[in-house]
Amino acid sequence: MTRKNTFILSMAIMLFAAFSVSAAPASSTEIQKSVEQEVFKKIVTMPYYGLFDSISFEMDGDTVILSGSVYNALNRKVAENRVMKVEGVANVVNNIEILPPSNFDDRIRRRVVRSFANTGGLYRYMIGPNPSMRIIVDGGKLTLTGFVSNEGDIRLATILAKGIPGVFTVTNNLELGNDKKY
């Protein structure tokens, strides 16, 4: 073989190897992250998913485990159906709790929203189609979940929530950061 043929053959082999590597399937971690992003999107874009609902999920292989609490019973089934349609999801375990109807809890919800809207800059976390703060009230027990931009807002939310008449306990699960995890 001449030098020229050897050079062309070696270039062809390197070129073939380069294209083979770039065409390799995505790693399982990348696929898992893609499925998680799609599940997250399906949950937060539900039509009646609002300020008084909080749904979270975990992935266990191709099984999605839904948990949280919803104010509207329809959201429990809608979340399960939407997640089941995601490519890469084989099973859905639905552990979402439906909050019982209660005028007492509804009064607390209204008071929390009013208090947060009238004091400080907390109102910005409760507006829009996908609010970054969630308010869960169950039997007078108030739980705040979601994301805020600074530690001061976490403390302010706790102080205001503890001052709401009728609230027995306040659990503040607010986190620093951006709710756009995916």
Report residue 128's pLDDT band, with 50, 70 and 90 as the boundaries: confident
Locus of tokens 């009013």: 114
Instruction: Measure the CA–CA gap between 140 and 11, rounded to whole angstroms.
Output: 72
* Number of domains, the chain: 2
The CA angle 80-128-125, to the nearest 5 degrees, is 100
To the nearest 5 percent, what fractions of the chain are helix, strand and coil? 45, 25, 30
Residue 136 lies in a domain: yes
- Spatial contact of 117 and 126, defined as CB atoms under 8 Å apart: yes
Last residue of a domain, one of 98, 115, 130: 98
Greater confidence (94 vs 25) lies with 94
Both structure tokens of 93 = 């375990």
Residue 74 has pLDDT above 60, yes or no: yes
Sign of the dihedral through C-alpha 79, 80, 83, 85: negative
Whether 94 and 113 map to the same domain: the answer is: no
Residue 74 lies in a domain: yes
Q: What is the structure's pLDDT at 2?
A: 58
Q: What is the structure's pLDDT at 182?
A: 38
Whether 120 and 70 map to the same domain: the answer is: no
Range of the domain at 145: 103-176
CATH code for the domain in which residue 70 is found? 3.30.1340.30
Residue 6 lies in a domain: no
Instruction: Measure the CA–CA gap between 173 and 161, rounded to whole angstroms.
Output: 13
Q: What is the structure's pLDDT at 145?
A: 95
Residue 20 lies in a domain: no
Report residue 177's pLDDT band, with 50, 70 and 90 as the boundaries: confident
Residue 161 lies in a domain: yes
Last residue of a domain, one of 49, 81, 98: 98
Whether 89 and 134 map to the same domain: the answer is: no
